[in-house]
Copies of this chain bind each other. A is one copy, B any other.
């Protein structure tokens, strides 16, 4: 029964993007709602994406010298309060544990919304000498932020993520690490998830609570809204001073360490859905697809068909993630199901194919059908998966570029975002515009248009001489957008 529901048509993107998203999330069986408001079950098809993503990101971390650790999920209130900006940013949205067993606690504990304070408390004891530096630690865990409005993957009260926390002897080294990890994220998004990103710096208004500055990668969803896809923060020595993290340097003087943190979360699964998905369902980038090749036998009751399907599976499974759909559903139904679930390739094999020594491969991203000799199937699949990744990335890049606009004055700026707000998807996207550097202009733009500065991109352009908002001399070009 569940299956039948799954391949019923989903709402079209153009009709109602938010409903389309919700439909995919449910019908591709990525998540389920729970009795705990704002928390979700990540179902096998959803968790498989996270596992594949986690493994590949973790490999890149290890190549970058990162070591994994695990710190407690609870933060004593007094610890959270040690860094002023940080506590102001997070205290309004944490969950508080007040009782352990049958007793009230002497000091209440919050469930970590992020772990800077815990890492500081740990580093304070673990770091004594320059020989103990750098520390380049990361943890994979879940965190809790008591959000009012929640949406699967995009904003939930509990979510999975990784948080890296590093400590360095010099400010330069901390800055290098901040940029290095942002680049790891950017490359990961492009090379693994086929999602192109804009790299840049957050404004003071949008930076992380307690950071000196925050770098971000921003991606553009199909509906023209932006999604912050990963961030990397440089804390300078602010936390070190608040927590007293000092080391004896080579010159025998006592110094504070310089720190960074960086994170990517299950939100990115929302980006995968909204960058690549279409009206038939999910479209998974091959590198995070649990099933890369869905083998669907045609007339499977005819002698030899299932055997050939299994033989192909056994040949392919050493190099690819592959599955035979040998249920008693019709081929058409199986096709629709494989499409909904976003498997990159469908391999059709029936009696006539077997006779002719060939099979048909169908690309999920384009619908293109490719005939291949059975002898060449490994090679063809390998090439096609590479091509699919490449084409998905290029398609997403083209879409983003076609939906990146320029505004030189407030009139142009307002016109673009007003059109987008009225459902004109052709004109929804990033808007590049010059900015004076004053938070007041960001506030005005946010107030008027519900638009935020996404980032000050590393690749700057001089679009105009004056700020798009106030008309005073411009200091930076900024990407603006509505965001998830």
Residue contact A122 to B68, C-beta cutoff 8 Å: no
User: How far is it, in angstroms, between the C-alpha of A144 and the C-alpha of B157 when the chains are bound?
Assistant: 18
- Residues of chain B with a CB closer than 8 A to A43's CB: 69
B-facing mask of A107-149, CB < 8 A → 1, else 0? Answer: 0010100000010011001101101100001000110101000
User: How far is it, in angstroms, between the C-alpha of A137 and the C-alpha of B48 when the chains are bound?
Assistant: 12
A74 within 8 A of B: yes
Residue contact B44 to A137, C-beta cutoff 8 Å: yes
Residue contact B100 to A97, C-beta cutoff 8 Å: no
Contact with A34, one of B122, B128, B129 (Cβ below 8 angstroms): B122
Residue contact B99 to A96, C-beta cutoff 8 Å: yes
A102 within 8 A of B: yes
- Residues of chain B with a CB closer than 8 A to A1's CB: 128-129, 131
The range of chain A's interface size is: 35 or more
Residue contact B47 to A68, C-beta cutoff 8 Å: yes
Given contacts A41-B72, A97-B95, contact A35 B79 (CB under 8 A): yes
Given contacts A96-B99, A101-B94, contact A72 B36 (CB under 8 A): yes
Contact with A44, one of B69, B71, B129, B158 (Cβ below 8 angstroms): B69
Residue contact A96 to B94, C-beta cutoff 8 Å: no
User: How far is it, in angstroms, between the C-alpha of A43 and the C-alpha of B119 when the chains are bound?
Assistant: 11
User: How far is it, in angstroms, between the C-alpha of A291 and the C-alpha of B44 when the chains are bound?
Assistant: 33
B-facing mask of A83-104, CB < 8 A → 1, else 0? Answer: 0000000001111111111100
Q: Give 9 new A-B contacts, CB below 8 A, not counting A39-B73, A47-B68, A100-B157.
A: A39-B74, A41-B69, A41-B122, A73-B144, A92-B102, A95-B97, A95-B99, A97-B111, A101-B146
Residues of A within 8 A of B (CB): 1-3, 32, 34-36, 39-44, 47-48, 50-51, 67-76, 79, 92-102, 109, 111, 118, 121-122, 125-126, 128-129, 131-132, 137, 141-142, 144, 146, 157-158, 160
